Amino acid sequence: MKITTIKLEAPYLVFLGDVGSDLDAKTGLGIAWWRAERCAGQMRFAGCPVDCGLPDLSVAAALSAGVRTVIIGVAPTGGRIRASWLPPLIEFATAGVNIASGLHHKLGDFPQLVAAAREGGADLIDVRTPPSGLPCGLGKKRSGKRVLTVGTDCVVGKKYSALALHVELSRRGIDATFRATGQTGIMIAGEGIAIDAVPADFIAGAAEVLSPDNRPDHWDVIEGQGSLFHPSYAGVTLGLLHGSQPDALVLCHDASRREILDVADHYPIPPLEDFIDRVLAAARVTNPHCEFAGISVNTTTLNDADRSAYLANLEQRYKLPAVDPVATGMRRIADYLLRSRGSSRSAT
Amino acid sequence: MKITTIKLEAPYLVFLGDVGSDLDAKTGLGIAWWRAERCAGQMRFAGCPVDCGLPDLSVAAALSAGVRTVIIGVAPTGGRIRASWLPPLIEFATAGVNIASGLHHKLGDFPQLVAAAREGGADLIDVRTPPSGLPCGLGKKRSGKRVLTVGTDCVVGKKYSALALHVELSRRGIDATFRATGQTGIMIAGEGIAIDAVPADFIAGAAEVLSPDNRPDHWDVIEGQGSLFHPSYAGVTLGLLHGSQPDALVLCHDASRREILDVADHYPIPPLEDFIDRVLAAARVTNPHCEFAGISVNTTTLNDADRSAYLANLEQRYKLPAVDPVATGMRRIADYLLRSRGSSRSAT
C-alpha cells in the first residue's frame, strides 16, 4: 500500500532561522545526522545558537550549490511559521527550489509564498498533511513483527532509538523497515504518516495503515510519539500504541529529566516501574503478548563511570538490556529482541 | 471564549435515509429525544427500520411544514455520506433549506450539493469541523468543577448520562453547563467541539478550551467519547480525559455488552474493577483528586427485578450509586456528586 507520496529532492538546505535551542531544532539536527550526505548546508539568522554541523549558506550560496529542497528544520511549540522566515523562503521558491515543512502551520497559508512557488515552479511540501481516506482502526491482528519506541516524555530519543535499532537490525541482515510517524522521521525515511496531524478518530487506523501485514519474520521498527503521561499528547501515544499492536517495546528515557517539558504546571516524569506497568497494560489491549525488549536512555549529562553504573542499575532492576543509543549503541537491545521475540510465534 | 459558531435554525427534519439500526441512528434519535419541540419530522427511505417517533415527511411535506434545517441523523461506521442520500438533500438545498451533518465526510465535498446550496441560498453546516487555532494542551489547573462521563465502549450512554446529569443539576439550581464533544451533543447544545475530528496533537488542548476557567462552584458536565479499552478510539478518550481534568467521573456501561462493538477481532469489555483502576490512574495524571461519582448503566435487556439486583450488586461492590439513566434517573448520582465533590476544595 502506498502510504504517502512524499518525495524530497536532494541536495537539501536545512533551514534553522532564528531557532533558540537544539530541542526546537530536532528536525534539522536529525536530518543532518542521519542523512548528512544529502545536505549541502544550513541557513541560520544572526545570533542563532543551533548548529547542525553543516556549512552556513546564504540564499545566493545555496543556489550556487544547487540546493533542490529547503527543509524547515525547526519545530517551535505550536508549530507556527514565523513572518521573519518568509523573505528567504520566498527567494528560494521564486528560484524554483522546493520547500518542505513538517509544522502544523501550512506553507500554503502564505499567499506570497504560494505565488512565489507558482512563479518559480517550486513545490511547497507539507509532510505533516496526512493521506486522505485513512480508515478507523479495526483492531485486527496483522502478520509480521513490530517493535515500537515509547518514551517517558517528548524529546527523549524515541525517533533516534528506532532509527538506530533499524540500522542495527538491517546490519545483521534482518528484514526490517523503519516506520516514520513524525515530520523528521518522514523526511529521513521519505515516507510515513505524521500521526499527530491525523484527525483524532483515525490515530489507531493510521498506525494500522503505517505498518500493514507483512512476512512473518519481517520487523517494523515504529517511531513512537509523545508519552502516556504527557498531559498534552497522551492521546496520540495511546492511539499509536494500540494501532501498532507491538510485539515489543523499547523504553526511551532521559536520565536528567525530572519533569515533563513544555507544560504550564509541574508534571513529574513517572517512576519507570509505573511507566512499564501502565504502558504494558495499555499495549496488551491490542496485543496480549507485548513485552519490553530494552531501555534506551539519553545519558549525555553523565560521565562514563556514572553512565555505566546507571545503566547497570536499570538492567538489574528491570531484567532488560539498558543502553545509551549514542554512547553504547543499540546492539544489546537488538540481541535481546531477536532472542526473545525472534520466533514467528506472535505473528501467527 | 467563543468555541464554535454553530447555529441551527428550527424546525428540523431528521434525515434517517437507509440507516439499518438504532446504533447508527443515535444522532437522530438523540435530537428527537432531547429537542422534540424543535423537530417537524423525520425522513426515511423505504424499508428503514429506525423510528425517531416523529412524523414521516416527504421533501414536499417537509417544505410545506416550513422545515429550516435538515439534520443528517445517522452516523454509519466510517462516517461516509451515501450517494443515495444526495437526491433529496439536493432538493432541500435548492429550496433554501440548510443541511447540518456531523459525519467525517464533508457536505462540501459534493459539488452538486454545493451548487444547489448556492442556488437556493442554503448553508451546508459540518458540525464536526473543529474551530481553527486550537492550542496544544497546557496541563494548567483550571478553576471551577468538572464531571466527565467515561464508558466501557462506544454507545453505552455517555452523552445521554451527561445530558441527564446536567438536567438533574440544573433542576436543583446548580450552576452547570453541558459540554458537547460529539456531533449529536453539539446539535443539542448548539455549540461544542467534535473532539474526535481535531488533529490528534490538539485533543487535550481542545478539551481545555471546551471547559475553560469558571466560577468555583460551577460544574461543567462533559460528554465523554470512546473508551480507554477501545482499539480504534482510545486515543480520543485519553486526550479528552487529560484535557478535561475531571474532579469526578461517571462510569457508563451496557449491562448486556460482552465485547467491544464494530471491531474486526474479539475484544472483551473489561471487568469494571480493571476499568475503574485504569481510568482513575490515567485521569490522575492531570487531576490527582479525581474520583468516580457513580455508575450509569443501560439495563434495557433486564426486567425490573433483575435490574434492581444488578444495580444493587454494583453499589455494594463499588460503594458508588448505580443507576439506569432512563429507568431510574440520575438523581442519586447527582446527590453523591454534590455531597462528595460539592465543596470548592478541588477547584482552588
pLDDT at B79 over 60: yes
Average pLDDT, chain A: 93
What confidence tens digit (pLDDT) does each residue in A260-296 have? 998 988 999 999 999 999 999 999 999 999 999 999 9
Q: Is the pLDDT of residue B3 over 80?
A: no
> What is the rounded average pLDDT of the residues B52-64?
97
B5, pLDDT greater than 60: no
**Confidence (pLDDT) at A6:** 62
Domains and CATH numbers, chain A: 12-126 (3.40.50.720), 145-347 (3.40.50.300)
Q: Give the H or E element holding residue B149.
A: strand B145-151
Sheet holding B98-101, edge to edge: B39-44, B12-17, B69-72, B98-101, B124-126
pLDDT 10s digits, A163-185: 999 999 999 999 999 999 998 89
Q: Which residues of A touch B77 (CB under 8 A)?
A: 136
* Model confidence pLDDT, tens digit, residues A38-54: 899 999 999 999 999 99
* More confident site: B347 or B192: B192
Contact B235 A232 (CB under 8 A): no
* Mean pLDDT value of segment A286-315: 98
**Strand B98-101 relative to strand A12-17: parallel, antiparallel, unpaired?**
unpaired
Using pLDDT thresholds of 50, 70 and 90, give the confidence band for residue B308: very high
Cβ atoms of A29 and A50 closer than 8 Å: yes
Poorest-confidence range of A145-154, A216-225, A332-341, B126-135? B126-135
Is B6 a residue whose pLDDT tops 70?
A: no
By the 10 Å C-beta count (0-12 exposed, 13-18 middle, 19+ buried), A132 is classed as exposed
**Cross-chain CB nearest to B77 (options A136, A237, A263):** A136
Contact yes or no for A200 and B196 at CB 8 A: yes
Is A9's pLDDT higher than 90?
A: no
- DSSP secondary structure, B20-43, as one string: --TGGGHHHHHHHHH-GGGEEEEE
Contacts of B265 in chain A (CB under 8 A): 138-141
Best mutation site among B195, B203, B210, B237 for testing chain A: the one with the most A CBs within 10 Å? B203
Helix B86-94 to helix B111-120 angle (10° resolution) is 20
Cβ-Cβ contacts under 8 Å, B282 against chain A = 228, 234
Q: In terms of DSSP H, where are the helices of chain B?
A: 26-34, 59-64, 86-94, 111-120, 158-171, 183-189, 203-210, 234-244, 272-283, 304-318, 331-341
Check CB contact under 8 Å for B104 and A199.
yes
Q: Select from B71, B79, B84 the least CA-distant residue to B18.
A: B84
Residue A298 burial (CB < 10 Å; 0-12/13-18/19+)?
A: buried
Q: What pTM value is reported for the model?
A: 0.86
What nine digits make up the cell of A147?
Answer: 517493535
DSSP string spanning B63-120? HHTT--EEEE----TT-PPPGGGHHHHHHHHHTT-EEEE-SSS-GGG-HHHHHHHHHH
Does the beta carbon of A137 lie under 8 angstroms from any beta carbon of chain B? Answer: yes
Mean per-residue pLDDT, A211-234: 97
Q: Record the cell numbers describing residue A13, joined without a space.
A: 538546505
- Percent of chain A at pLDDT above 70? 96
Within 10 angstroms of residue A9's Cβ, the number of other Cβ atoms is 14
- Please give the pLDDT value at position A344: 43
Question: Taking the mean position of all CA atoms in its chain, how far away is CA A270?
Answer: 22
Contact of A140 with chain B, judged by CB distance below 8 Å, is answered with: yes
Whether residue B199 lies within 8 A of chain A, CB to CB, comes out as yes
Q: What is the pLDDT of residues A107-133, one digit of tens each?
A: 999 999 999 999 999 999 898 888 888
Asked whether the predicted pLDDT for residue A25 surpasses 70, the reply is: yes
Answer for the pair A157, A151: CB distance below 8 angstroms, yes or no.
yes
ipTM: 0.85
- Highest mean pLDDT among A5-19, A200-214, B29-43 belongs to A200-214
Using the predicted structure, report yes or no on whether residue A346 has a pLDDT greater than 70. no
Q: Please identify which residue in the block is written with the cell numbers 489507531.
A: A204
Spell out which residues of chain A touch residue B139, defining contact as CB-CB under 8 Å: 231-232, 260, 263-265, 267
Residue B47, pLDDT > 60, answer yes
Contacts of B118 (CB under 8 A, 6+ apart): none
User: Which residues, at least 6 apart from A220, have a Cβ–Cβ distance to it below 8 Å?
Assistant: A144, A145, A146, A147, A176, A177, A179, A211, A214, A244
Closest Cα partner for A3 from A140, A198, A245, A233? A198
* β-strand partners of A145: A219
**Rounded average pLDDT over A216-229:** 97
| Chain B interface includes A266 (CB < 8 A) | no
Which is nearest to A175 in space by CA: A213, A224, A215? Answer: A215
Bridge partners (DSSP) listed for residue B178: B221
Q: What is the mean pLDDT of residues B215-219?
A: 97
In percent, the amount of chain B with pLDDT more than 90 equals 81
What whole-number distance in Å separates Cα of residue B50 and Cα of residue B27? 12
- Chain centroid offset of residue B298 CA: 15
